[in-house]
Amino acid sequence: MSTDLPKTFDPADIEARWYSHWEANGLFRPERPDAEPFTIVNPPPNVTGSLHIGHALDNTLQDVVVRYERLRGKDALWVVGTDHAGIATQMVVERQFEASQDKRTNYSREDFVAKVWEWKEESGGTITRQLRRLGCSMDWSREQFTMSPEFTRAVTKVFVDLYNDGLIYRDKRLVNWDPKLKTAISDLEVETQDVKGGFWHFRYPLADGVTTADGKDHLVVATTRPETMLADMAVAVHPGDERYASVVGKEIVQPITGRRFKVVADEHADPELGSGVVKITPGHDFNDFEVGKRAAIAPGEMLNMLDAEGNVSQTADGLVPDEFLGLHRFRRDGTDGARELVVARMKELGFLIPHLDKDGAEHDAEPRTIATPFGDRGGVVIEPWLTDQWYVDAEKLAQAPIEAVRDGRIEIVPKSWEKTFFNWMENIQPWCVSRQLWWGHRIPAWYDEDGQAYVALTEEEAQAQAGNKKLTRDDDVLDTWFSSALWPFATLGWPEETDLLAKHYPNDLLISGFDILFFWDARMAMQGMHFLGEAPWKRLYLHGLVRAADGQKMSKSKGNVVDPLLLIDKYGADALRFFMAAMESQGRDVKMDEARVEGYRNFATKLWNATRFCQANGIGASDSVAAPAATSAVNRWIVGEVVETLAALDKAMADLRFDAAANAIYHFVWDTFCDWYLELIKGGIDDETKAVAGWTLDQILVMLHPFMPFITEELWHAQGDRRYELILAKWPQPEAAVDAAAKAEVEWLIELTRNLRGAKNELGLAPGAKLEAWLAEPSGVARKVLSGNAAAIERVARLFAVHTEPAPGGAALQVGAGGDALVIPLEGLIDIDAEKARLTKALAASEKEAKALEGRLSNANFVERAKPEAVEKARADHAHHTAEAQRLKAALERLG
C-alpha cells in the first residue's frame, strides 16, 4: 500500500531519517559472502578536518560508484577512516594549551600524547559526521584510524622491512623546514605566496690578484636572500660563458666571512640572466644543493648557518662574525635581522652595487615581487635546511608502479595524466619520511652512544642487536604520508593474512584529486607492489578541483570558499551530490554554480511531484523486475527508453564518465518520463498503463539512487510495500528491447508538439490555442499516429483535427514532424504582413549585433587584452544573437 506524499518536498525531513536507518541496519555492507567483491578506499581525511567542497566532490563520486556496484549485487566494501594528521593535530592541542596559559613542554612526551588521544575521542569525529550528511554509504562498522594499534603494527613492520631491504636510510639533505613548528614538512604543506622583496647586487672579489678577461678584479652576483652569503661555498658560471672561462677554478674571497671558495662551471648558471654569475649556498637552497654535489662538495661538508628557529648559528668553519650570531634571518618585531646587517656591512665595505630607479635615485635593492614558500600551518617562510633525516629510496620503489602503468595493470583515468605520472616517477627524489613531532608513529630506531642506529620492531629486539650498549630511541615520528601509503592493505588486516585481505586486495578503484597523485597515490602503488606484489588498485581515477564560479582557486584569503554543509542545509544533499556528478567531466575542474545546485533541487521536486501524480492515478510499486507486457505505442516506447537509458548509464559508469551518467538519467526523468510520458498517458490510464508506469518509476528510482539516495529511498517506500530497501535493490534488468515502431510513432508526435509550440511562441499565438492542420500525403508513421492517437494529439499538440487532404489556400504555417510537413492556416489568427514586418526588423537587429560581436571577437587585441569576463560575455552574447537570428529566419520561412 502506498503512502501519500506531502505536497512539498523537504530534503531535511528525509535525509537524517534514512541515513540513520541504513547505518543502524548494516545496509552499507550487507552479508554477501559469495558475491563478486568490489573495493574502494576513501582517502582518509585529517582527524582534525571539516568537510570542504573538495571532499564533497571526491566522496560523492566514490559513493555513486559504490551504490551502483552494490545495486549490481556485488560485495561492495567502501573502507573509511581518518588520518592522525601529525602536524595539524599536534597544533590543535597545543593551541588549546596556549588558551589556558599552558604549553606542550610542560608535559612529558607520553603525557602529551595521552592528551592528544583525549582530544581525538572528544572532538575528532567532526568530519565523519559530516560525511554521513553527504550520504556516504561507508562501512562504518570497520572505521579505521592510522594511529590504531593494528595500523601502527603495520607501519612499524613496513619501516623495519624497508630498512632491512636497504630501502630506508638516514642521510643529510635539504628539507622544507618550518622554523615555527620546528619540523620538516612535505611539499604539499608548502604554499607559495607573492611577497614584495628586493634583488640585491654585490661584488665578490677574486682572490690572489686574479682578474676576468676584461680586467675586472671581481664578479657580480645578485640575490634575493643576501643573508645566506654567510654560508656561501662557491659561485657558478655557465660552462659555455666565455666571459668567465679564465676564472673557472680560481677563488673568491667572501667579504664578510673571509671564506675562500672556488668559481665553478655549472649549467645552473644562466648567461642571459643578470651578470651570469650565481652565488652557491648548498646548505640553504635546493638548486644550490645539487650544484654543490656536482662541484664535489659532500653534504656532510655543506655549511648550515641557521638553527631550527631560523636564527644565525656558527658554521662548521667558524667564520661567521660574532655580531651575526643569534640574529633572526629577517627583520622581526621591528628589529633588524641577519639580512639587514649583511646588506649594511657589504655597503660599508663597498661591495654593494646600488640600484638606480627610473629617476636616477639610488636604492640598496631593486624592488621585486618574489614567489616565497610558506608553511601552510606554521604560516612562516620555509627555510631549505640541511639536516639529518630518514629517507625512503623512492627511485627503486617507483620502478614497479611505472611498469604497472605501462603494461596496463594500473589504468589511469583520464589517460592524459599518464605523462605527468611517468615524468615525476622517472625523476623521483629520495622521500623524507621523518618529522620532528611528538604525535605520530615514532620511528623504530634506537641509537647507541656512538650514534649507531639499530632498527627493530621492538626495543627488546633493538637491544638484542646492540648487546650491552645503552640505547636511546629516535625522537622523530613518521610523515603521515608514509602511514597513509599503506591504506589499501593495512585497513584490510595486513600483515595478517586475513580473509578480508584475500578477497578485497587489490582494490578495484581509487578516486583521488590529481593534486595528491604523487603524495599519496604513487606512494600507495610503491608500497602495495613492494609488500604484496600487486598494484593496490586496478584503476586510478583523477578528478579536478572545485573552483569558484569565476574559475579562481578557492581560498580563505580571497573570501570565495563555499561551505558544502550550507548548500546541503539550503538545497539538500541530493541536489549537491547531483551537481558534483553532473559537473565532473574528465580532465576539467568543476566551477561552483549555486544556481545549478538549486536547479537540481528543482529536479528532485519534479520527480517528487511526478510520483504524487502517479499516486493520484492509482500507479504504485511494481512487483516485476522485467518490463510488463505492453501493447500501446506509448507504453512500448517508454519501456524502450528505459532500456536505452540503462545502456547509456552502464556505459558511462564503465568509462567513469560521471557527467554522462548524470546527464542520461536527468534527461530521462525530466524530459522523457515527466514531460512526455506522463503527459501522453493522461486521460487514458488503464491497467496496462498503470503497470508500465509503476514499473518505469521503479526503474527510475533504482537508476537515480546512486546519485540521489535520499529522495529515491523515500519515494521507493512511498509507492508501496517493499520486501527490501532501495539501497539493496537489484539494478534494472528489463528483459526487453527497443520497439522501433513505437519509438518512431511517439517521437513523431513529440517532434510535432515541440515544433508547434515553438512556432506559436514565435508568432505570438496563445500556447493553449487549439488549431487545425492539413497533411495531404502522410507517411506511414504519421498514419499510425493519426489513426490511434486523436485524443493525445488534441490534448498535447493542441490540434483538434488533422485532415489528410490538400490544405486550403492562403497564408499558412508549416510545421515539421519526421519527414512530414503539416500545414496550419493562419487567416484570422494573426496579421500576416505585420508579423512579417516585425520578424524582419528583429532579424536585421540580431544579425547586426551578431556581426559586430563577431568583429570584436576576431580582434586579437580584444581577446588577449580585455578582462576574461568581458571576453566570455562577448562570446555568450554572440552565441545568443546568432541563435536568435536563426530562429527568426525559421519563423519567416514558416510564413513564406
Residue 429 DSSP SS3: coil
- Provide the pLDDT confidence category of residue 558 given band limits of 50, 70 and 90: confident
Give the other-Cβ count within 10 Å of 308's Cβ. 16
Half-sphere exposure (CA, 13 Å, Cβ side) for 176? 22
**Alpha-carbon span 125 to 509, nearest angstrom:** 26
**pLDDT for the residue 896:** 63
**pLDDT for the residue 258:** 96
Neighbouring residues of 709: CB distance < 8 A, sequence distance ≥ 6? 18, 63, 67, 135, 137, 574, 577, 726, 727
* Average pLDDT value for residue range 783-791: 89
Q: What grid cell was written down for 745? A: 510513432
Could you read off the pLDDT of 601-624 as tens digits, one per residue?
999 999 999 999 999 999 999 988
**pLDDT for the residue 188:** 83
Computed over every residue of the chain, the mean pLDDT equals 94
**pLDDT for the residue 704:** 98
Phi, psi of 749 (to 5 degrees): -65, -40
**pLDDT for the residue 120:** 94
Q: Is the pLDDT of residue 832 over 80?
A: no
Give the other-Cβ count within 10 Å of 211's Cβ. 13
**pLDDT for the residue 338:** 96
| Strands of 260-265's sheet in order across | 251-253, 260-265, 234-237, 277-280
Residue 562 DSSP SS3: coil
Q: Is the pLDDT of residue 833 over 90?
A: no
Among 478, 496, 487, 433, residue whose Cα is nearest residue 156: 478
Among 232, 231, 261, residue whose Cα is nearest residue 249: 261
Distances (CA, A) of 403 to 351, 398, 422, 518: 54, 9, 10, 16
Q: Is the pLDDT of residue 894 over 80?
A: no
Cβ atoms of 372 and 166 closer than 8 Å: no
- Provide the pLDDT confidence category of residue 826 given band limits of 50, 70 and 90: confident
Give the other-Cβ count within 10 Å of 523's Cβ. 26
Lowest mean pLDDT, pick from 75-89, 307-321, 809-823: 809-823
Q: Is the pLDDT of residue 1 over 80?
A: no
- Provide the pLDDT confidence category of residue 814 given band limits of 50, 70 and 90: confident
Cβ atoms of 857 and 873 closer than 8 Å: no
**pLDDT for the residue 2:** 72
Could you read off the pLDDT of 843-853 as tens digits, one per residue?
899 999 999 99
- Provide the pLDDT confidence category of residue 580 given band limits of 50, 70 and 90: very high
Phi, psi of 23 (to 5 degrees): -70, -45
Q: Is the pLDDT of residue 734 over 80?
A: yes
Q: What grid cell was written down for 172? A: 643529510
- Provide the pLDDT confidence category of residue 301 given band limits of 50, 70 and 90: very high
Give the other-Cβ count within 10 Å of 573's Cβ. 28
Q: What grid cell was written down for 443? A: 620511528
- CB under 8 Å, gap of 24 or more: what pairs does 117-123 form? 119/89, 119/92, 119/93, 120/47, 120/89
Q: What grid cell was written down for 202? A: 654585490
| Strands of 383-392's sheet in order across | 183-185, 168-178, 383-392, 431-432
**pLDDT for the residue 761:** 87
Could you read off the pLDDT of 363-402 as tens digits, one per residue?
999 999 999 999 988 899 999 999 999 999 999 999 999 9
Q: Where are the beta strands (DSSP E) in 501-653?
A: 507-513, 537-543, 546-547, 590-591
